[in-house]
Structure 1
Amino acid sequence: MSVYRKIAEVGSKFISKATLFKYGFNLSPMYRRSTGRIKYVSDDLLDITIKIPISYKNKNYVNSIFGGSMFSAVDPIPMVQLMNLLGDNYIVWDKSAKVRFKKPAKENLYADFQFTKNELDNIKSLIEDQNEMELIKQVHLKNKDRSVTFCEVQKILYISDKKHFKRKKRKK
């Protein structure tokens, strides 16, 4: 078990999962280096918003936000969000990602990560029938009023029933 999961396990006994998610990410060294900050987490963890403020820490050679900062601020959120939403009976991991830069970002960027209860029910139903699946989540990095897209990130997540995953792992 990772140190982050241990902190989450112990911390959730004292504060809400949403608060722990927000401050856990914002204080963790691995996420701080991305220059992204989680600004909002709904109580049910279905909605998360991040901000990537433009600063000297993430400006590139042409004074726009470095693409690596954009991707690294987005990268861990969907997987960890879904892990928390589905619970311990499921395995969730990042399988791949595709990044498409649309225009140079010379202002603060925002991204919204959302799952619906219906989407979670569909995932659980598919896992019950098929034991494993891949889920594609699209995230857009936009300006504050969400009118301009600067970057699109497509994440492919692998999801499996924990028992199935262990059986499959033993066969290899």
Structure 2
Amino acid sequence: MEQLKQSFDLSGHELPAALTKLIINLWPPFRGAGIRVTHLSADWRQAEVQLKLGLTNRNYVGVHFGGSLYAMTDPFFMLLLMQQLGPDYYVWDKAGHIDYVKPGRGTVKARFHVDEDLVSHIRQQTASGEKYLPQLQVEVHDQHGDVVARVHKTLYIKRKKDR
């Protein structure tokens, strides 16, 4: 444990992306649902998540359970933005909904990308201390590249006072 503490600073709440990926993949709700983070970039700009169809995430008609499709996308915009904006900001999921496009079979994936333009825009919108509610979207694709679902997320972002 001492070597782990020396490798990176654990006194704050920032963990390296590789360790965060490992922790998320071991988290019981994701593990039990078959959700796996396959990529989390070191710069916190990209994440890829996959969900293999199995007994724990199959619905009554044999396709991906909608709750698992939503769960696989739930924390990632928040996580990426928290890390990019840093500790001077509150970042929360405020709302979300999912549009099911077609039944999900086999392995499905979602790719998240948060670029510098979005981060700069958020900083501008929150510079005076006002909250900002960006609306973001990610698509869930099957192994053929077809859209299975579109997930719409609204985040709550606000710069902390005296920062």
TM-score normalised by L of structure 1: 0.82
Give the equivalent residue in structure 2 for 1:76: 75
Give the equivalent residue in structure 2 for 1:159: 157
SS of the aligned residue for 2:53 comes to: coil
Deviation at 1:144, TM superposition (A): 3.1
Deviation at 1:130, TM superposition (A): 5.4
Give the equivalent residue in structure 2 for 1:3: none
Give the equivalent residue in structure 2 for 1:13: 9
Task: Give, in whole Å, the separation in 1 of the partners of 2:34 and 2:50.
Answer: 9
* 1:10-60 deviation per Cα after TM superposition (whole angstroms, max 9, x unaligned): 985379611022111111123323321100011101010000011111111
> Can you give the 5+ residue segments of structure 1 that lack an aligned partner in the other structure?
1-8, 165-172
Please give the residue correspondences for 1:63-102 in structure 2 after superposition, counting only pairs within 5 Å.
63-102=62-101
The alignment-based identity, stated in percent, is: 28
In 2, are the aligned partners of 1:35 and 1:73 still within 8 Å (CA)? no
Give the equivalent residue in structure 1 for 2:51: 52
Task: Give, in whole Å, the separation in 2 of the partners of 1:81 and 1:31.
Answer: 18
2:117 maps to 1:118: yes
Deviation at 1:84, TM superposition (A): 1.3
Letter in 1 for 2:154: I
SS of the aligned residue for 1:163 comes to: coil
Task: Give, in whole Å, the separation in 1 of the partners of 2:62 and 2:7.
Answer: 39
Letter in 2 for 1:124: R
Deviation at 1:161, TM superposition (A): 0.8
Task: Give, in whole Å, the separation in 1 of the partners of 2:7 and 2:133.
Answer: 30
Task: Give, in whole Å, the separation in 1 of the partners of 2:6 and 2:98.
Answer: 35
Deviation at 1:76, TM superposition (A): 1.3
Task: Give, in whole Å, the separation in 2 of the partners of 1:88 and 1:62.
Answer: 44
1:127–1:20 distance in 2 versus 1, CA, 3 Å? same
Greater share of residues in helix? 1
TM-score normalised by L of structure 2: 0.87
SS of the aligned residue for 2:132 comes to: strand
SS of the aligned residue for 1:151 comes to: strand
> Can you give the 5+ residue segments of structure 2 that lack an aligned partner in the other structure?
none
1:137–1:10 distance in 2 versus 1, CA, 3 Å? farther
Q: How many residue pairs align between the two structures?
A: 155
Cα RMSD, aligned residues only: 2.2
Task: Give, in whole Å, the separation in 1 of the partners of 2:148 and 2:57.
Answer: 15
Deviation at 1:120, TM superposition (A): 0.6
